[in-house]
Amino acid sequence: MEINHYELKYGEFGETIGVQINLRGFDILRFNNISKGTAFTIEEKIKFKLSGFLPPRVKTLEEQVQSSLNIIDKKESAIEKFIYIRSLYDRNVVLAHAVIASDVTKFLPIIYTPTVGLACQQYSAMFRRPSGIHFFPDNIDYAEYILQNYTDKDIRVAVVTDNQGILGIGDQGAGGLPICLGKLMLYTQGAGIAPWHCLPISLDVGTDNQELLNDPNYLGWRHKRLTGKVYYTFIEKFVIAFKKVFPHALCQWEDFSKQTAFTVRDKYIKEVISFNDDVQGTGSVAVAGILAAMKVKKEKMTDQVYLVNGAGAGGVGIADQIQTELVEQGLNKKDAIARIFTMDSRGIVTTDRELEPYKVKFAKDPKTLTWLKTSKDNTLLNAVKNEKVTILIGTSGQPGQFTKEIVQAACKNSDRPVILPLSNPTTKAEALPKDVYEWSNGKALVATGSPFDPVHHNGKDYRIGQMNNSFVFPGIGLGVVASGATEVLPIFFSAASHAVAEFISKDDLKDGILFPPLDQFRKVSLEVAKRVGAEAIKANVTQKDCAFSKFKHNNDPERLNTLVDKMCWDPQYLDIV
């Protein structure tokens, strides 16, 4: 049978066990999924007509990794290290992932937040080789044809962005694709979903970033951003094509902005297997941190008062997941919502304002806020003081908003207030952890959205837990794929929250640390996947057999657990035939 360049071979668990190639000579080296670079053996060089195209020395993968680490260590900046790893990925996928896996804690901040934000801003200048798919108004009518002709055919997860709400830096036009690339690298590192099952997609509908429109080197569709009916027609065309070509694949919506994030997620939740990580993943990981904090405080979530400072997609997503958890813990919906306050640039969100639909749910009747006499009273400090806030969450993207006064006001409401400055990148954090420790005399329980160095307080170093979505979304994706779930249910995110919270060691909880270390990333992801798969089975939303495996789990959670463990990919070179 004629094959197109190469065809992957799978075992009974859907794991990749080898590759059959229809290539010889230098052409093999052009495909990053199958190239081994200097690791091709002498026998392979002869067999596949590679002799002469590579130097005589044969290196092991371990030797290649060490050589790459030596080069990376000489790079002076994080963005230079990012560029090297991406270029390595473009040449040799296995080696790039083996390098990352050698020290996940070191490399996650380089391949994803905060460095990926710089990569988005410099995307046009950094572009070297195509990665993923760019849809724009001039080619969206051919979306099905383009997807069918993508090199990798067995797509299991796609990360799709419209580039508008990128990681605290806003509209980046075509520059959002590195976010998708980074998220998919985390799917591979965390959940073991092999790179050839991952597809990054940019929905380039233009940009309102005038700096990009004025840049002669800008590579995107050089028009103002589509809006309204034209925008949603564009999205509809993509969804129809994606569903037809990859009917069993998971579609993760990424960095859509504000109302659009909710509209697109809700419209297609039954059409494609999909979720929005900024909304649901952020909510899930935030609740994981809060559940851990309750273990430290030895208190109940139902007794806390929550304020989310930053009522964008992520902030409202957190509020949503908190409300879901409060209801699961016994509150009715009305009482749960009453304990959650959201705040935007105009203060506490209230019902007497004209609001975008996604903000309405948590808007407060101003008559119930007796301390709110005039608009000047509607400040974060007054809200924390008067509503007796015990859990303060920052998603505003505005640095320095959690001041000394505000932290100390929270300390008067609780012996151990929970302070979560989550905005990315690091420069956007609402407060620095070291300041929160100092202002609260070490009482505050702190986690951040970006990585921070440990804080030295009262003669001891405290690791700062990172409330990183990567603790939940890779495992959720693997749980969906492994179980053959036909939709992504809200309970999946609750299951993920509890799985992450239960993974924190007793010693870390004793020190008030709210998240596992990043070197536990893979273990956490697999546990999340098993919990999510079990919920899919319980909810009866699974296909009879996993779409990507001959292994029949027959809706048996134990057999599903075996499948999750066995289908995970580790960066090792494939056998080539």
CA-to-CA distance for 90 and 86, rounded, in angstroms? Answer: 6
Q: Which of 36, 81, 183, 243 is catalytic?
A: 183
Q: What is the pLDDT of residue 123?
A: 94
Q: What is the pLDDT of residue 203?
A: 98
Q: Is residue 299 part of a domain?
A: yes
Which span out of 166-170, 502-506, 573-577 was modeled with the highest average pLDDT? 502-506
112 included as an active-site residue: yes
Q: Is residue 378 part of a domain?
A: yes
Helix residue ranges per DSSP H, 392-472: 404-413, 433-440
Are 91 and 186 a contacting pair, CB within 8 Å? Answer: no
> Could you give the angle at which helices 228-245 and 258-268 cross, rounded to 10 degrees?
40
What's the whole-number average pLDDT of the chain? 94
Overall pTM > 0.85: yes
Q: What is the pLDDT of residue 1?
A: 39
Verify that 195 and 246 share a domain, yes or no: yes
Verify that 132 and 245 share a domain, yes or no: yes
Q: Is residue 54 part of a domain?
A: no
Q: pLDDT band for 554, please (50, 70, 90 cuts).
A: low
Span 462-476, pLDDT tens digits: 999 999 899 999 999
Verify that 246 and 301 share a domain, yes or no: no
Query: Taking 50 as the threshold, does the pLDDT of residue 171 lie above it?
Result: yes
The letter for the amino acid at 66 is Q
Verify that 292 and 251 share a domain, yes or no: no
Query: Taking 50 as the threshold, does the pLDDT of residue 58 lie above it?
Result: yes
> Which residue among 215, 239, 255 closes a domain?
255
CA-to-CA distance for 267 and 281, rounded, in angstroms? Answer: 18
- CATH number of the domain within which 403 lies: 3.40.50.720
Q: What is the pLDDT of residue 543?
A: 78
Q: What is the pLDDT of residue 424?
A: 81
Overall domain count for the chain: 2
Q: What is the pLDDT of residue 2?
A: 45
Query: Taking 50 as the threshold, does the pLDDT of residue 495 lie above it?
Result: yes
Q: What is the pLDDT of residue 148?
A: 95
Q: Is residue 374 part of a domain?
A: yes
Q: pLDDT band for 102, please (50, 70, 90 cuts).
A: very high
CA-to-CA distance for 178 and 167, rounded, in angstroms? Answer: 11
Verify that 104 and 163 share a domain, yes or no: yes
Query: Which of 308, 369, 269, 323 lies closest to 497 in space, CA to CA?
Result: 323
Please give the average per-residue pLDDT across 484-506, as a whole number.
96
Q: What is the pLDDT of residue 101?
A: 97
Q: Is residue 345 part of a domain?
A: yes
Q: Is residue 64 part of a domain?
A: no
Task: Determine the structural domain holding residue 123 and report its residue range.
Answer: 91-255
Q: What is the pLDDT of residue 375?
A: 87
Q: Which of 6, 112, 306, 573 is catalytic?
A: 112
Q: What is the pLDDT of residue 546?
A: 58
Name the β-bridge partners of 485. Answer: 542
Verify that 365 and 496 share a domain, yes or no: yes
Verify that 286 and 233 share a domain, yes or no: no
218 included as an active-site residue: no
Please give the average per-residue pLDDT across 280-303, as a whole number.
97
3-class DSSP state for residue 191?
Answer: helix
Please give the average per-residue pLDDT across 139-147, as a whole number.
97
Q: What is the pLDDT of residue 577?
A: 83
Weakest-pLDDT range from 93-97, 131-135, 556-560 = 556-560
Percent over 90 (pLDDT), the chain: 87
Verify that 363 and 243 share a domain, yes or no: no
CA-to-CA distance for 286 and 445, rounded, in angstroms? Answer: 13
| Alpha carbon 266 to chain centroid, angstroms | 19
Verify that 303 and 441 share a domain, yes or no: yes
Query: Taking 50 as the threshold, does the pLDDT of residue 355 lie above it?
Result: yes
Verify that 217 and 296 share a domain, yes or no: no
Verify that 327 and 391 share a domain, yes or no: yes
- The secondary structure of residue 170, as a DSSP letter, is B
- CATH number of the domain within which 120 lies: 3.40.50.10380
Verify that 195 and 239 share a domain, yes or no: yes
Q: Is residue 86 part of a domain?
A: no
Span 236-276, pLDDT tens digits: 999 999 999 999 999 999 999 888 999 999 999 999 999 99
Q: Is residue 545 part of a domain?
A: yes
Percent over 70 (pLDDT), the chain: 97
